[in-house]
Amino acid sequence: MAPLPYDLTLPDRHLTSVIFSSPHSGRDYPSGFVRKSVLDERTIRSSEDAFIDDLLDCAPSLGAPLLAARCPRAYVDLNRGPDELDPAVIEGLRPAGYNPRVSSGLGVIPRVVAGGKAIYRGKLSPDEVMGRIDDCWTPYHDCLKGLIAKSRTAFGEAILLDMHSMPHEAVDSIAAAGARRPEIILGDRFGAAASSQVVDRVEAAFEAAGLRTLRNAPFAGAYIAQQYGRPAGGTHVIQIEIDRALYMNEREIRPNGNYKGFKKLLAGIVAEVIEIGRPAEMLSAAE
């Protein structure tokens, strides 16, 4: 049996409707994939949300499940739909309707990494593409759907925090001159993926910790938020982007001197956010 393409860490006691997922922190690069790529190891890792899974490892001890990808984003993008297929990288595939993510090379099987650098010299066979989707994409989303369903059964709702990182320069185009640049982007697809009450409370947790937030620009939420966010039905999804400069050296893809301090700060935020999904009776019992 092939190893699972994700790590799922469940709490000893499930105390909250909040779920944490990290679909882009995977770093298990198949040897065959690495051989096919024209990129060096550091460049191919530039699309990773490196260390996000480690930064969130406190969540299960606080009562919330943590789902983290093992397969890397450059191999298969778990925050894309299985039909977001790129004819520029898949043999024999005819162009379909316009999709900006696919057109930019960032479909479910990416053609490029950060900075638009091509991953391959040629194209991939349809069999290889479908194998990646069957082996990685489908199991991850089956697990994610199961977590959401269990949360809704247990708590009457699910609050999925889809955790990502962004390059420091990602907000350069929207940062006002002289103003403090945002460090956290909350994407709720302009209210379509989560209720304003839930987003307000998540935002407040980051702001109370001293982190400046912005909503929906330049990241409003991709496939996971679009597919699973149904606030009217009790499922709320927020895509959260964290400025990588807060905790890592982006060029070297390694923790910086602030890593431990930021991880401690984030643990406090995680604890606050988890309280949002705790039933009133559990809160009363804890007081």
Torsion of CA 269, 271, 274, 276, to 10 degrees: -70
- Whole-model pTM? 0.94
Report pLDDT for 177: 56
As a residue count, the chain comes to 287
3-state DSSP assignment of residue 273: helix
Q: What is the pLDDT of residue 286?
A: 43
- Residue 125's CB: how many other CB atoms inside 10 A? 11
- Could you tell me which of 143, 138, 112 has the C-alpha nearest to residue 44? 112
> Which residues of the chain fall below pLDDT 50?
281-287
Q: How much is the pLDDT for 50?
A: 97
Domains along the sequence of the chain with CATH: 6-27+47-75+125-286 (3.40.630.40)
